[in-house]
Structure 1
Amino acid sequence: MDYTKCFKEVLLQYSFTDPIVELIRHNENITYKLTEKGSEDTYLLRMHKPITKNMQGVQNTREAILSELEYLIAWSSHSELPVQNPVPNQNDELVTTVIVEDEEVHCSVLKWIFWETMSKQDFNSEETVNTFGTNIANLHRFSLSYQHGSCFIRPEYGIEWTNTMLTKLRFGEEIGIITSREFHIIKNTFSLINARMKEWNKTKDTWGFIHADINYSNLILTSKGISFIDFGLSGFGYYMMDVAMGALMTKGELRDALLSGYTNIISKRVDIEQLEAFMFLAIVGYYTFLVSQKNKHKWIRENISGLIEHLCKPFLNGQTVFYNI
């Protein structure tokens, strides 16, 4: 597909005058930074076209993109932290669809938040980690009260999702970057997690709308504190999935501070086994993202043994790995 042509078609649908354009990246979306010349008006343009078919999903449909944007509008009216607000096109639509080479491409524009992207070094203090846990809890507390319509569509992160992940990893075995023995151990780990997941209740307090992609690149340090960006993979799942992703970003000795910050807002018992399961799934999710990219196969081959020895085997042996991952 000619993405340059697609980009130009999209710009015509908005009231931009002569923006300075900067390509940011192409992962689950193609993203551009747009800055109007002679002003500080800056925007994020997303073309909802993943870099590989491996990443294609319900989140790329027009209905799901609109649902994400509606959530952001609602969240921005409640959040004390900056939120990337959607920008409508000239037809007052939040999602712009263009047809290039007989293919539909859905696009959206968000207001730019001037930020400093966070890194591992930013989570070295108990106070910061505790606040981070509080911020995740505040996001979930809003989700608990959020009322969406019947047309609201987003991905779901349950057993079907884990099975899809395993299918994607099987491709790694088929092409030889994951050995049959390694895949067997990974498969057994998935089986254990799925068995436990079947026993987890889906109640209002445990299951709801989550960010689902909490990592350093999706957290920004603003003048008002740590804020979340990029809800492109957001959907319905267990709230502990977000907490587990947050835990992966902090040192083992600081993870109790994260849980404390979370439970101070949402009073509930935290299931460590559940957190460990989602930590494993978050890590493996990165492998499934890379397995369809040939230039990343060497990295997978070099690191897969560490995943097996330090996570899968201890997990299967019933050892607690929450503080060691």
Structure 2
Amino acid sequence: MTNDTLHTILNRFDIHQPTITFLRHNENRTYRVDDVHGTSYLLRIHQPVKESMIGMQHTYDGLLAELKMLDALASQNYLIVQAPLRNRDGELITVLEHEGQQLNCSILTWLEGRDLQKEDVSKREIVQELGFQLAELHSFFRQYPHEGMEQRPSQGLTYNIGMIDTIKKGLKLGMFTAADVSIVEKTILLINSRLEGSGLTRESWGLIHGDLGLGNIIITPEGKLSFIDYGFFGPGYYLTDVAMGASMIPAEHRNLFLEAYYGHNNCHEEELLLIEGFMLISIIGFYAFMMGNESVHDWMREHMPQLCAKRCLPYLSGERIFYIS
């Protein structure tokens, strides 16, 4: 995408003499924008690198729901958030006509810092802060209006079943063995049956981040943490976020994370079993989402047998996997 095209977008905003730096093209095209006054922004053009990655989050209504939520989240003062900017017409989304396509574009405030790293989550204070902040985020989501969330990705029982069909495409492509695909299918069906029989209350389902990982958490120069990239924000089980958070933490610190999130050290056995299921769902979900991206096929081909042998089979046999790193 040319600089002239990018400047066409930026001209809709009060950003003066911008300098544009390309960051990456994955779920979206992203650019850092620095203005003449030294203020920085994140420009997102919501066009995935692969058509298979296109989802509800890229539609106008789906994106608008995310930006409205971020606008509300930024108005509170206990979480660090990248706030969306409105263009000169007061709109959160700027539509770009490009090569016969209408592309949705948005701009967020820039957040200085770096991605969270594995060595960071080996520190107890960081693990505790992650638990505290996730609890704060879910507290915000519980009181945030849920209207219009049918336009956002939903991670429930139907989503889980859909992953089975997607993983089976890997079998047809020669990426996975029939045995491994069968193990994944049995794992997902068992997780769903446990969810259906768990008696989870309505309070267990709400709005979630939906894609927590080291790359979606920023640590600022002051050592503060911030959740970023709400592309999969939408309806789901709160335990999905809890499981994703636990997955990036060394096994010896996972209880500390749960204690910080819940505010006590009493996680029931049944709840831990569900968290383990969601940990597996998050991994399988990554495989399913990246199925159309040939650049990671070799990686998935190599790692699928390990996932089945070290995680899925023990889970199916009733072994505890929460404390396996």
TM-score interval for Structure 1 and Structure 2 normalised by the shorter chain: over 0.9
For residues 304 and 312 of structure 1, do their structure 2 counterparts lie closer, same or farther at Cα, with a shift above 3 Å needed?
Answer: same
Query: What is the DSSP-based 3-state SS (H/G/I as helix, E as strand, rest coil) of the residue aligned with 2:297?
Result: helix
Partner of 1:247: 246
For residues 215 and 79 of structure 1, do their structure 2 counterparts lie closer, same or farther at Cα, with a shift above 3 Å needed?
Answer: farther
For residues 174 and 118 of structure 1, do their structure 2 counterparts lie closer, same or farther at Cα, with a shift above 3 Å needed?
Answer: same
Give CA-to-partner distance per residue, 1:247-303, whole Å, 9 cap, x none.
Answer: 011110100000000111899757111111111011112222332222222211211
Give the TM-score of the pair, scaled to structure 2. Answer: 0.92
Moved more, 195-204 or 18-27: 195-204
Deviation at 1:154, TM superposition (A): 1.7
**RMSD of equivalent CA atoms:** 2.1
Determine the C-alpha separation between the residues in 2 that align with 1:3 and 1:187: 44
For residues 99 and 199 of structure 1, do their structure 2 counterparts lie closer, same or farther at Cα, with a shift above 3 Å needed?
Answer: farther
Corresponding letter in the other structure for 1:85: A
Is the 2:258–2:267 Cα contact (8 Å) retained in structure 1? no
For residues 274 and 51 of structure 1, do their structure 2 counterparts lie closer, same or farther at Cα, with a shift above 3 Å needed?
Answer: same
Determine the C-alpha separation between the residues in 2 that align with 1:206 and 1:288: 25
Partner of 1:192: 190
Partner of 1:280: 280
Give CA-to-partner distance per residue, 1:165-189, whole Å, 9 cap, x none.
Answer: 2222111111101111211111111
Determine the C-alpha separation between the residues in 2 that align with 1:197 and 1:57: 25
Partner of 1:271: 271
Partner of 1:312: 312
For residues 250 and 231 of structure 1, do their structure 2 counterparts lie closer, same or farther at Cα, with a shift above 3 Å needed?
Answer: same
For residues 21 and 200 of structure 1, do their structure 2 counterparts lie closer, same or farther at Cα, with a shift above 3 Å needed?
Answer: farther
- Structure 1 alignment gaps of length 5 or more: none
- Structure 2 alignment gaps of length 5 or more: none
Partner of 1:95: 93
Query: What is the DSSP-based 3-state SS (H/G/I as helix, E as strand, rest coil) of the residue aligned with 2:249?
Result: coil
Give the aligned length.
323
Determine the C-alpha separation between the residues in 1 that align with 2:284 and 2:202: 27
Deviation at 1:224, TM superposition (A): 6.6
Partner of 1:28: 27
Is the 1:169–1:288 Cα contact (8 Å) retained in structure 2? yes
Partner of 1:237: 236
Partner of 1:259: 258
Corresponding letter in the other structure for 2:259: S
> Would you identify which runs of 4 or more consecutive aligned residues in structure 1 move more than 6 Å?
265-268
For residues 203 and 48 of structure 1, do their structure 2 counterparts lie closer, same or farther at Cα, with a shift above 3 Å needed?
Answer: farther
Deviation at 1:82, TM superposition (A): 1.9
Partner of 1:207: 205
Partner of 1:139: 137
Corresponding letter in the other structure for 1:247: A
For residues 16 and 239 of structure 1, do their structure 2 counterparts lie closer, same or farther at Cα, with a shift above 3 Å needed?
Answer: same
Query: What is the DSSP-based 3-state SS (H/G/I as helix, E as strand, rest coil) of the residue aligned with 1:230?
Result: coil
Corresponding letter in the other structure for 1:295: S
Corresponding letter in the other structure for 1:216: L
Is the 1:138–1:265 Cα contact (8 Å) retained in structure 2? no
Corresponding residue to 2:76 among 75, 78, 86: 78
Is the 2:82–2:228 Cα contact (8 Å) retained in structure 1? yes
Determine the C-alpha separation between the residues in 1 that align with 2:145 and 2:264: 20
Deviation at 1:163, TM superposition (A): 2.2
Determine the C-alpha separation between the residues in 2 that align with 1:5 and 1:178: 44
Give the TM-score of the pair, scaled to structure 1. Answer: 0.92
Query: What is the DSSP-based 3-state SS (H/G/I as helix, E as strand, rest coil) of the residue aligned with 1:156?
Result: coil
Is the 1:144–1:204 Cα contact (8 Å) retained in structure 2? no
Determine the C-alpha separation between the residues in 2 that align with 1:89 and 1:23: 21
For residues 3 and 245 of structure 1, do their structure 2 counterparts lie closer, same or farther at Cα, with a shift above 3 Å needed?
Answer: farther
Corresponding letter in the other structure for 1:296: V
Partner of 2:224: 225
Corresponding letter in the other structure for 2:56: V
